[in-house]
């Protein structure tokens, strides 16, 4: 229900101020596109939660790798880098979400990985983007495809 309400509010008020997290996801999508990734889906929601970005990395032929990208945005690094907030519990949740996504779309045999994009976005400076490819292995499964 909340997802429908959120989409409806965005549709009727496209000029509302976007949150720092939403701006960070927009920036991450632009970053990934510049690197040659194809964006498959944004905010892929299920009853288990949400995957920020699902993309296809075709930069290393002949393998096309499905990438689950977690985006973390902060206004400063006072309490650590944004990517550090992707702890083991978050990795476990992302793994469950990714496996469910792969099953739902019948992609269990496709190579996949997890990337994390950490963004520090100071008000008076350009954003700092740190893209960590293959940031972690699937957590909580004996293998991503089991």
Position 29 scores a pLDDT of 96
Q: At 90, is the secondary structure helix, strand, or coil?
A: helix
Query: 117: closest CA among 106, 104, 128, 126?
Result: 128
Give the pLDDT of the chain (146 residues) as one tens digit per residue.
Answer: 455 555 555 555 555 567 887 888 999 999 999 999 999 999 999 888 999 999 999 887 767 899 999 999 988 877 888 888 898 999 999 999 999 999 999 998 889 999 999 999 888 889 999 999 999 998 776 555 44
Position 4 scores a pLDDT of 58
Count of domains forming the chain: 1
Would you say residue 145 lies in a domain? no
Would you say residue 146 lies in a domain? no
pTM for this predicted structure:
0.81
Position 77 scores a pLDDT of 76
Would you say residue 112 lies in a domain? yes
Position 121 scores a pLDDT of 86
- Alpha carbon distance 113, 6 (integer Å): 29
- Alpha carbon distance 73, 19 (integer Å): 10
Would you say residue 3 lies in a domain? no
Query: 87: closest CA among 51, 127, 135, 42?
Result: 135
Would you say residue 1 lies in a domain? no
Identify the CATH number of the domain in which residue 39 sits: 3.40.1350.10
Would you say residue 58 lies in a domain? yes
Residue 128 makes CB contacts below 8 A (sequence gap 6+) with 119, 120, 121
- Alpha carbon distance 20, 32 (integer Å): 18
Would you say residue 43 lies in a domain? yes
9 neighbors 18 (Cβ within 8 angstroms): no
For 36, the token pair is 């040659």
- Alpha carbon distance 121, 111 (integer Å): 32
Position 10 scores a pLDDT of 56
Residue 19 parent element (H or E): none
The single-letter DSSP state of residue 111 is -
Would you say residue 12 lies in a domain? no
Condensed to tens digits (0 to 9), the pLDDT of residues 64-80 reads 899 999 999 988 877 88
* Domain carrying residue 30: 21-136
């Amino acid at each position: 229900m909340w997802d429908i309400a959120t989409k409806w509010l965005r549709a009727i008020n496209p000029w509302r101020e976007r949150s720092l997290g939403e701006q960070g996801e927009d920036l991450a999508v632009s970053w990934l596109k510049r690197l040659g990734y194809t964006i498959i889906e944004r905010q892929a929601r299920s009853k288990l939660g949400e995957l920020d970005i699902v993309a296809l990395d075709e930069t290393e032929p002949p393998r096309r790798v499905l990438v689950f990208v977690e985006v973390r945005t902060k206004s400063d690094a006072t309490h650590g880098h944004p990517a550090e907030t992707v702890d083991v519990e978050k990795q476990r949740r992302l793994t469950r979400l990714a496996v469910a996504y792969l099953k739902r779309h019948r992609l269990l045999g496709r190579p996949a990985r997890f990337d994390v994009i950490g963004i520090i976005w100071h008000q008076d400076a350009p954003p700092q983007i740190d893209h960590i490819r293959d940031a972690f292995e699937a957590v909580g499964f004996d293998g991503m495809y089991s």
